[in-house]
Each structure stands twice: as C-alpha cells, then as structure tokens.
C-alpha cells in the first residue's frame, strides 16, 4: 500500500480526494450529505494512513520568525538540491557560494532510520485582493511533513530534532555575517516587518590591516579571543557573558575600522544602533532584546546620541545658567521639542545595558565610540559597563610600519628613520598617513610615496608650530592687557560709571 502511495504524488492524490468530496457534497441529497461527511474522514484515514505536520514561518502572532522553519528550510535546501526540479538560489559568504532552497509547491523525499518522509513547501496568498503598501503582508509560508502514521513517534521524537540540528549546522557553515541597522519604530509592526534591517557584512578591515601600537593590538586581540571562549568562566563567576568596549580618539584614528576588525576576528554580526532614531527608553530596550548572540552592538559617537551631560546641564540651569538662552522663547521651544523628540536618557541607556545583558542570552559585545571621552558621564563608562577603554590616537611609528607593509609591501627603508623622527614631532591621524602613503598611480615608486608622506609631515609640523606661536602671542597679549582691564573694572566700581562696549 505504502509503495503505491509513494508512486503516486501525495499532494495530487489528496487533491483528487478533495475534488470527489466537493462534487459529492454538491450532488448528494441533503439527508445523505450528513452521513457522507461523517464517514468521509474515516474513509480518508483508511485510504490515506498518513500524518501531516505543518511548520509555519511565523509564530507568536506573526511577530517572531520560527526557528524551526528556518532550520527546515536550510536542511531541505541541502537535501533537495539533488532531487527537486525547481530551486531558489541565494548567494552567501562574500559571493563565493550559492545556497539553494526548495521552491514553493515542490516536494522532496527524505529517509530517516529506514522510514520515508515527504516534505512540501507551501505558500498561501491572500484570498482577497487589496491595495497595500506592503503587498506581501498576508502571504503565509510553511513546510508540510507527511509520514505514515505507524512512524509517528519516531518522526516527532527523533526525526524533527535531527532536521533542526542538521539545519542549524548547515546554516552555521554557510553563515553570511550581517550588518544590522535599526528601523524607526513606525516600521516595526505588521507581518514580516522588523526592528532591524540588514545587509551582508563585508568590511575588509582585520587586525592585520589595523595600524596601531603592536603591543596594544595584541592585548586587544587576546582579550577578545579570551572573551569569546569564556562561556563557562562567565557562568562560574555569575556574570552575564558580555563585554563592553569604549573606543575613543580623534576622527580618523581607526575606531570604526577596529569594530570591523573585531567582528571579522570573532565572526560576529554587527548591530549599528542609531540612538537618535530611537524615541524612548522602552524602544531601546526592545531593540536590544531583538539582537542575536555572537554579535557586536555598536553605538557610534555616543556623546552626540544622547544627552549624557544632562546632570551637569541641570546643575548649570539651577545656578542660573545662560540667562540669554533661557529668556529667549525660540531657543526654549526648540530645546523642549528636542527633548520630546528624543526621550532616550542616560539612565535609560544604563538600565538597558545592565538589564539587557543580565537578563538575556550572552556572547555579546557592546562598543561605544566617541571623539570626546571627557564629555561622557562617568556612570556610563565605569568598569563593568565599559570593561575596556581603548584610546586610538595619532599615528605612531608602529602604526606607520603596518601601513608600509600593507600599502607598499616593505618592512624597512632608508627613509624610515626620518619618518620616525617626524612622527614623534607632529600629530597626524592614521587616516592622513594612509592617504599620503597610498600610491596615486601605477608609476608611483615606494620612494615617491615615502617622500610624499615626509613632505606632509613637515607641513603638518610647520602648521602646528605656527599655531602654537600664535597661541603663545595671544596669551602674552592677554597677560599684558590683564592689569589694564583690572584697573578699568576697579575705576568703574569706585566711580560707579557704566561702560558700554
Ligand atoms: N588605525 C588605522 N588602521 C588602519 N586604517 C586606518 C586607521 N585609522 C584610520 N584608518 C583609515 O582611515 C579611514 C577612516 O578610519 P575610521 O573610519 O576607522 O576612523 P574613525 O576613528 O572611526 O573616525 P571617526 O571618529 O570620524 O568616526 C578608514 O577607511 C581607514 O582606512
Ligand atoms: Mg568612525
């Protein structure tokens, strides 16, 4: 019997049965219809001794994508690539490989411990046509597993977990890392819309291409590797498996490049959290809860994203602050509106970091970057929240050597000594050093590039010296004018004369 069912297409057989059912129901007299319906199920289960299990794409009021569905899709993609006639292809892993998935209404057979099962992919489109900005909103997708009822136990107890496990393993093997960015909250709701949008993460920066002090680089690499393998350690000491990094330094010193290098080293996804698009603390919490493990959550330019100087501002206002600013109604209104627009507060952010990490899955790194570390509230960057503070600064000789090796493929040169001296005398960001060192045409020789950098360093040194001279002159002038000013103020006080400027 089973052989016969195998030879027939299960889907079309059921289709035929349903057709018979509909036709009979229409043409049978009313009295007989009731009997027919009553016995139809029994007849079907007798002729069709199979169990069907459906795995829908979405669970929990369609807000969460089902893990089982994803795992089955990957598993069947692998299985069906040899037998199915219609497949869908997705390019993964830096465009190097293609992953196939079963197309809709396609069926594949699988075997488990000698038992045959049938899988089919289904898509249900909305029954009524309607105009919508989101045409796919009502589309439902699922996989259907069909198996003989005498194998029900084996399939539900062992086969399904086998499929899940294999599917997850294949997914890990083909994993294309992603860069996520948060969507504004008005796009969060409805079928298949989500809090984060993503693209493939393909940043080429690694710790080998990162130009910085060699010792510090090694220390950071070791710290990251230790963290990623310390699951048991964190469990033993009773701490959530997370680590916070604060990267600070002037623009163009490699903060963003370091985040990319971290993600590439650990094979983590990156969640680039734009705080200015988050309306309130509750939204921030939901966003963070929707991140996956093995990920780096990044908040760039943290000093610009949230009013971290709130407490100090408040104190200033209490003392009287800037009278002009306070009395100006337009400035006041703009400030009020700004506050309404962005209600993420420092305490909200702190609660999210601590609350999130201690309450849900681990293996997450949070990175803050800033150009002005002194502006940040100490509560935000205290150890335990931001465990490691890393200063990325102007280009040192170690960093230059990395650039020379990567950009010009040299380890030493007679001009290196001069460059070392100049780097010690002036401040140039790694971004500027890289730009000067990069060959500008196919005919640019190594020496040309090094000499261009030397010229740029000399220019920067002269500019810095000029600026220092000007500053010194200005200070001298101020010192000279001080006694005169003091005398003037004294006279005004004594004589009660109003001086207008
Ligand atoms: N330490 C570095 N090592 C290698 N490349 C660097 C380094 N610093 C800067 N660069 C180069 O300069 C460019 C700018 O660097 P990056 O974006 O990482 O700087 P940043 O510190 O994040 O700057 P900002 O504060 O403006 O965001 C990068 O494309 C990179 O090629
Ligand atoms: Mg940056």
pLDDT in tens, 444-500: 789 999 999 999 999 999 999 999 999 999 988 888 887 777 777 777 677 765 544
Specify if 141 maps to a domain: yes
Q: Do 101 and 192 fall within a single domain?
A: no
Q: Do 68 and 172 fall within a single domain?
A: yes
**From atom 6 of ligand 1, which residue's Cα is the shortest distance away?**
254
Q: Pick the residue with more confidence: 214 or 123?
A: 214
Name the domain boundary from 328, 357, 391: 391
Q: Do 358 and 384 fall within a single domain?
A: yes
Label residue 318 by pLDDT band (50, 70, 90).
very low
At residue 254, the pLDDT reads 95
How many angstroms does the Cα of residue 300 sit away from the middle of ligand 2? 7
For the CA of 205, the nearest ligand? 1
Q: Do 300 and 370 fall within a single domain?
A: yes
- What is the arithmetic mean of pLDDT over 8-14? 58
How many angstroms does the Cα of residue 91 sit away from the middle of ligand 2? 29
Specify if 4 maps to a domain: no
Label residue 355 by pLDDT band (50, 70, 90).
low
Ligand 1 atom closest to residue 210's alpha carbon, by position in its atom list: 3
Specify if 20 maps to a domain: no
| E strand residue ranges, 209-285 | 242-248, 269-272
Ligand 1 atom closest to residue 209's alpha carbon, by position in its atom list: 4
- pLDDT of 271 over the 70 cut: yes
Specify if 495 maps to a domain: no
Q: Could you tell which of 203, 245, 250, 254 is best to mutate to test the pocket of ligand 1, judged by most ligand atoms within 8 Å of the CB?
A: 254
The answer to which of 181-185, 333-337, 360-364, 381-385 has the lowest mean pLDDT is 333-337
Average of per-residue pLDDT values in the chain: 80
pTM over the 0.80 mark: no
ipTM score of complex = 0.98
The top-scoring range by mean pLDDT among 234-238, 245-249, 318-322, 338-342 is 245-249
For the CA of 400, the nearest ligand? 1
At residue 377, the pLDDT reads 85
Specify if 471 maps to a domain: yes
**Which residues, judged by CB distance below 6 Å to any ligand atom, belong to the binding site of ligand 1?**
209-212, 251-257, 371, 399, 430-431, 434
What distance in Å separates the CA atoms of residue 268 and residue 192, rounded to the nearest whole number?
Answer: 24
Q: Do 147 and 243 fall within a single domain?
A: no
Enclosing domain of residue 349: 180-306+342-391
For the CA of 431, the nearest ligand? 1
Label residue 194 by pLDDT band (50, 70, 90).
confident
How many angstroms does the Cα of residue 51 sit away from the middle of ligand 2? 56
The answer to which of 50-54, 77-81, 191-195, 279-283 has the lowest mean pLDDT is 191-195
Q: Do 207 and 285 fall within a single domain?
A: yes
Helix (H) or strand (E) holding 89: strand 87-92
Q: Do 169 and 210 fall within a single domain?
A: no
Tokens of residue 443, six digits: 């005919």
At residue 307, the pLDDT reads 65
Q: What percentage of the chain exceeds 90 in pLDDT? A: 37
Number of domains observed in the structure of the chain = 3
Specify if 3 maps to a domain: no
Q: Do 106 and 225 fall within a single domain?
A: no
At residue 335, the pLDDT reads 56
Specify if 41 maps to a domain: no
- Residue 55 backbone phi and psi in degrees, to 5: -115, 110
How many angstroms does the Cα of residue 262 sit away from the middle of ligand 1? 14
Q: Do 271 and 223 fall within a single domain?
A: yes
Residues 6+ apart with CB under 8 A from 293: 361, 362, 363, 364
- Residue 107 backbone phi and psi in degrees, to 5: -125, 140
**From atom 31 of ligand 1, which residue's Cα is the shortest distance away?**
431
What distance in Å separates the CA atoms of residue 245 and residue 366, rounded to the nearest whole number?
Answer: 6
> What distance separates the 2 farthest-apart alpha carbons in the chain?
118
- Please state the three-class secondary structure of 291-308 as a single string: CCCCEEEEECCHHHHCCC
Label residue 394 by pLDDT band (50, 70, 90).
very high
Specify if 453 maps to a domain: yes
At residue 85, the pLDDT reads 63
For the CA of 272, the nearest ligand? 2
Residues 6+ apart with CB under 8 A from 454: 415, 418, 419, 422
Give bridge partners of residue 55 from the DSSP assignment. Answer: 143
Q: Could you tell which of 206, 256, 395 is best to mutate to test the pocket of ligand 1, judged by most ligand atoms within 8 Å of the CB?
A: 256
Ligand 1 atom closest to residue 431's alpha carbon, by position in its atom list: 12
Ligand 1 atom closest to residue 260's alpha carbon, by position in its atom list: 18
Label residue 8 by pLDDT band (50, 70, 90).
low
């Amino acid at each position: 019997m089973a052989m016969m069912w195998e030879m027939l297409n299960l889907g079309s057989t059921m289709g035929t049965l349903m057709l018979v059912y509909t036709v009979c129901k229409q043409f049978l007299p009313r009295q007989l219809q009731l009997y027919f319906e009553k016995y139809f199920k029994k007849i079907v289960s007798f002729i069709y001794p199979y169990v069907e299990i459906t795995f829908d794409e979405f669970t929990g009021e369609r807000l969460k994508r089902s893990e089982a569905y994803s795992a089955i899709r990957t598993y069947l993609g692998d299985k069906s690539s040899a037998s199915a006639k219609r497949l869908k292809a997705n390019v993964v892993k830096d465009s190097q490989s293609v992953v196939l998935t079963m197309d809709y209404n396609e069926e594949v057979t699988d075997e488990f411990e000698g038992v045959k099962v049938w899988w089919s992919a289904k898509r249900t489109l909305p029954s009524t046509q309607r105009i919508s900005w989101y045409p796919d909103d009502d589309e439902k997708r699922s996989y259907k597993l069909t198996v003989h009822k005498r194998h029900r136990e084996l399939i539900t107890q062992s086969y399904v977990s086998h499929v899940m496990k294999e599917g997850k393993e294949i997914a890990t093997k083909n994993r294309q890392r992603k860069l996520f960015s948060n969507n504004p909250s008005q796009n969060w709701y409805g079928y298949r819309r989500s809090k984060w949008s993503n693209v493939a993460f393909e940043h080429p920066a690694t710790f080998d291409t990162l130009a910085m002090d060699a010792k510090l680089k090694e220390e950071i690499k070791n710290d990251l590797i230790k963290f990623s393998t310390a699951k048991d350690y964190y469990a033993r000491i009773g701490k959530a498996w997370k680590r916070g990094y604060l990267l600070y330094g002037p623009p163009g010193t490699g903060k963003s490049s370091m985040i990319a290098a971290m993600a590439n080293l650990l094979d983590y996804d990156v969640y680039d959290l734009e705080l200015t698009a988050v309306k309130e603390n509750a939204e921030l919490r939901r966003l963070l809860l929707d991140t996956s493990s093995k990920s780096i959550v990044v908040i760039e330019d943290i000093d610009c994203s949230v009013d971290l100087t709130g407490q100090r501002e408040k104190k200033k206002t209490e003392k009287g602050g800037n009278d002009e600013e306070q009395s100006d109604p337009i400035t006041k209104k703009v400030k009020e509106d700004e506050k309404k627009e962005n209600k993420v507060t420092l305490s909200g952010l702190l609660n999210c970091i601590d609350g999130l990490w201690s309450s849900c899955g681990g293996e997450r790194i949070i990175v803050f970057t800033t150009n002005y570390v002194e502006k940040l509230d100490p509560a935000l960057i205290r150890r335990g929240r931001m465990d490691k503070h890393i200063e990325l600064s102007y280009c040192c000789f170690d960093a230059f050597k990395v650039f020379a090796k990567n950009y010009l493929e040299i380890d030493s040169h007679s001009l290196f000594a001069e460059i070392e001296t100049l780097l010690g005398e002036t401040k140039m960001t790694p971004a500027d050093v890289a730009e000067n060192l990069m060959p500008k045409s196919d005919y640019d020789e190594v020496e040309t590039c090094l000499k261009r950098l030397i010229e740029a360093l000399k220019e920067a040194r002269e500019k810095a010296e000029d600026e220092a001279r000007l500053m010194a002159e200005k200070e001298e002038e101020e010192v000279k004018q001080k006694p005169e000013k003091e005398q003037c103020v004294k006279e005004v006080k004594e004589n009660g004369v109003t001086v207008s400027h």
